[in-house]
Amino acid sequence: MAGRRRWSTEEILDAAAELLRTGDADSFSVRKLAAALGTDSSSLYRHFRSKTELLRAVADRILQAAMDGHSPEGDWKQRITSLALRVREAFGQQPQLATVWARYASGGTGSRLVMEEVLQALRTSGLPDDEVPVHYHRIAVLIAALIASEAEAGAVTPAEREQGMEHFRVAVLGADPELFPSLAHFARDIRPLGTDRRAAFEDILAARLAHIEAAIRSSRPTGSGMSTNTTTGAAPAR
């Protein structure tokens, strides 16, 4: 009698990603994945030591896909913005995995590629080296939070979305001007959270990058004539 098929790591990750598309990280389990593959959990634990490690690997493949073929262009702000939009688009195609990425820190190849690109861009911005990690962390947290938030919003069913829109219309358009004068005044222009998320994403990220740029300018001596290399991946000369 033939033994059970041996699944490769890539095949396991493919199956896990497919399972996550129809569920979420909370309902996902190694046991369910093993059942979908027609094997037992112990065979999967030969590849991944825990559910968390498996989920990290699945999410990291999204980052690898986002970085595939990526060629940095423009100044440091354009590079970070381009990268953020690539990652957003990649997770937008598999929103269930966005929350996995935000929840479980990944140190895989995809994660390291993203980190390297952001750090390189920040080093060309003119920031002192000792300030780069702090700004990197804030950018990373911001991007992960925005993408995970979009994923959560995109996970609702059409019926739930319509119900939410109805509640929004009642709450906003029906606001009592005596109790909520500003809300009543702007009611016809206020839009639900799910509206035009890409523009909001870009605006929020642009504000963070503008904050960094302002900090760089304020730290330069007046009339110093300092310039930075903003078009290449090389760090400024020391």
What mean pLDDT, rounded, does the chain reach?
85
Cα Rg of the chain, angstroms: 22
**CATH superfamily ID and name for 9-155+193-219:** Tetracycline Repressor, domain 2 (1.10.357.10)
Per-residue pLDDT of 167-210, as tens digits, reads: 888 889 889 999 999 999 999 888 877 677 888 899 999 999 99
The residues near 197 (Cβ < 8 Å, ≥ 6 apart) are 150, 153
Contact 62/97 with Cβ under 8 angstroms?
yes
Other beta carbons within 10 angstroms of residue 64's beta carbon come to 16
How is the chain split into domains, by residue range? Answer: 9-155+193-219
Contact 104/55 with Cβ under 8 angstroms?
yes
Please give the structure tokens belonging to residue 42.
Answer: 């112990």
Query: What type of residue is 50?
Result: S
Query: What type of residue is 74?
Result: G
The arithmetic mean of pLDDT across residues 29-40, rounded, is 91
Contact 191/173 with Cβ under 8 angstroms?
no
Per-residue pLDDT of 98-154, as tens digits, reads: 888 888 767 789 999 999 999 999 999 999 999 999 999 999 999 998 998 887 776
Quote the percentage of the chain above a pLDDT of 90: 46
Instruction: Give the model's pLDDT for residue 44.
Output: 92
Smallest CA-to-CA distance from 131 within 54, 213, 72 is with 213
Res. 236 pLDDT band, cuts 50 70 90:
very low
Instruction: Give the model's pLDDT for residue 28.
Output: 85
Per-residue pLDDT of 111-124, as tens digits, reads: 999 999 999 999 99
Instruction: Give the model's pLDDT for residue 152.
Output: 73
Least confident of 57-71, 117-131, 149-163: 149-163
Query: What type of residue is 199?
Result: A
Query: What type of residue is 5?
Result: R
Least confident of 27-41, 83-97, 153-167: 153-167
Tokens 């990652």 label which residue?
87
Instruction: Give the model's pLDDT for residue 2.
Output: 47
The residues near 63 (Cβ < 8 Å, ≥ 6 apart) are 87, 90, 101, 106, 108, 110, 111, 113, 114
Query: At residue 8, does pLDDT exceed 50?
Result: yes
Q: Is 217 buried (19+), middle (13-18) or exposed (0-12) by CB count in 10 A? A: exposed
Contact 67/114 with Cβ under 8 angstroms?
yes
> Given 3-state DSSP classes, what are the helix, strand and coil percentages for the chain, each rounded to the nearest 5?
65, 0, 35
Instruction: Give the model's pLDDT for residue 121.
Output: 97
Q: Give the pTM.
A: 0.78
Res. 211 pLDDT band, cuts 50 70 90:
very high
Instruction: Give the model's pLDDT for residue 234.
Output: 45
- As separate numbers, helices (DSSP H) first and strands (DSSP E) second, the chain gives 11, 0
Smallest CA-to-CA distance from 172 within 152, 154, 156, 187 is with 187
Instruction: Give the model's pLDDT for residue 4.
Output: 63
